[in-house]
Amino acid sequence: MFYDEVKVNFKAGNGGDGCFSFRRAKYEPKGGPDGGDGGRGGDVYIVGDTNVADLTDYHFKPGWKAKNGEPGRGSDQHGANGEDIVLRLPVGTIVVDRDSGDPIAEVLEHGQKVLLLEGGEGGKGNAQFKSSTNQAPRQFTLGKPAEEGDFRLIIKTIADVGLIGFPNAGKSTLLNMVTNAHPKTGAYPFTTIFPTVGVLEYPEQFERITVADIPGLIEGASENRGLGHRFLKHVERCKVLLIMLDMEGTDGRDPLADYKVLVNELKLYMPGLARKPELICANKMDEPNAAENLKIFQQKVKEKVYPISCVSDEGFEALKQAMLTEVLKIREAEAVEKEQ
């Protein structure tokens, strides 16, 4: 089972209490205050990790707590600080506050470390309150309580290209053939039930891009029909959208109608998705009706269409090059924007 959204509770460590103590030693009847400070509570950090695939660990263990700071002791002994807790999350995970629904933090790169919750400050021992006018202080302070929160962890896949299409359009087969990923494929709808990301290599150009296979969408996905929102959220961070169509029209489907539905669902879910660069891929060109359907489709849709066949490998090179070209354009634009 692939867990891409879970509810959790995180808590940092409380600060240790300060100590109330006076020095007692032979021949020192008035040794003075020697109560040490309490230790600081541990913090809660989240870290992006490409070796973590999903949120299974947090589904089965939703509660995580950092160590409390130790209390101070006599003889001016400072309590030990609580140990921090570092939670490793898949890259692309957003932390959302369950009460307000606001995003709190996110990890977008491997190794990115974000402080989520701070531990409580340690209390002060009575030695801290000693002065010329208060040589036997009886004041001390308790440790501060730590931050705590109820959150939702949500994975939004990060990839250069997202494969969009109806079930059985051939997305998983394409990903299987051009990348190092091996998603499940089968002759029935919804074979893919969670996103799979593969790496597409261009050795002659010393480039590589990531391609995500998004599970099949249906009409009404923007209204959360089927598993609409669960699937569509993985499209948000893709740089380029590759819309795959079954140009054979299997089971009476109309490629043109499918295209219009997919584009409309993206717009309804998030208007910004419609502004992303888009490539159209016509699959199953080895089937008898595909050529005629493609001709009709191109009369209605002016955008360039890349016909392919996952059986004969037809059109793969042109499609791969088109994906690289679009991704490099965006990378260059992002680089210029960062410099400014």
Residue 191 is assigned to a ligand binding site = yes
The DSSP letter of residue 251 is G
Residue 51 is assigned to a ligand binding site = no
Residue 286 is assigned to a ligand binding site = yes
Maximum distance among all Cα pairs of the chain, rounded to whole angstroms = 106
Residue 165 is assigned to a ligand binding site = yes
Residue 166 is assigned to a ligand binding site = yes
Q: What are phi and psi of 227, to 5 degrees?
A: -120, 45
Residue 233 is assigned to a ligand binding site = no
Which residues, at least 6 apart from 87, have a Cβ–Cβ distance to it below 8 Å?
10, 44, 45, 46, 47, 58, 64, 116
CA 67 to chain centre: 26
Residue 168 is assigned to a ligand binding site = yes
Strands 278-283 and 240-246: parallel
Give CA–CA dist 154/310, Å, rounded.
Answer: 33
Residue 271 is assigned to a ligand binding site = no
Tell me the one-letter amino acid at 198.
Answer: G
Residue 169 is assigned to a ligand binding site = yes
Residue 297 is assigned to a ligand binding site = no
Residue 250 is assigned to a ligand binding site = no
Residue 103 is assigned to a ligand binding site = no
Q: Which of 16, 45, 10 is nearest to 145 (CA)?
A: 16
Residue 192 is assigned to a ligand binding site = yes
Residue 310 is assigned to a ligand binding site = yes
Residue 171 is assigned to a ligand binding site = yes
**Please, how many CA atoms are within 13 Å of residue 311, restricted to the half-sphere of its CB?**
5
3-state helix, strand, coil split of the chain in percent (to 5) is 25, 25, 50
Residue 172 and residue 185 in contact, taking contact as beta carbons nearer than 8 Å = yes
Which residues, at least 6 apart from 5, have a Cβ–Cβ distance to it below 8 Å?
55, 152, 153, 154, 155, 230
Residue 68 is assigned to a ligand binding site = no
Other CB atoms within 10 A of residue 325 CB: 12
Give CA–CA dist 323/49, Å, rounded.
Answer: 26
Give CA–CA dist 139/120, Å, rounded.
Answer: 20
Residue 190 is assigned to a ligand binding site = yes
Side-by-side strand order, sheet with 5-11: 63-65, 5-11, 148-155, 93-97, 103-107
Residue 213 is assigned to a ligand binding site = yes
Residue 170 is assigned to a ligand binding site = yes
Tell me the one-letter amino acid at 77.
Answer: Q
Residue 86 is assigned to a ligand binding site = no
> What residues form the annotated binding site?
165-172, 190-194, 213-216, 283-286, 309-311
> What residues form the annotated binding site for GTP?
165-172, 190-194, 213-216, 283-286, 309-311
> What residues form the annotated binding site for Mg(2+)?
172, 192
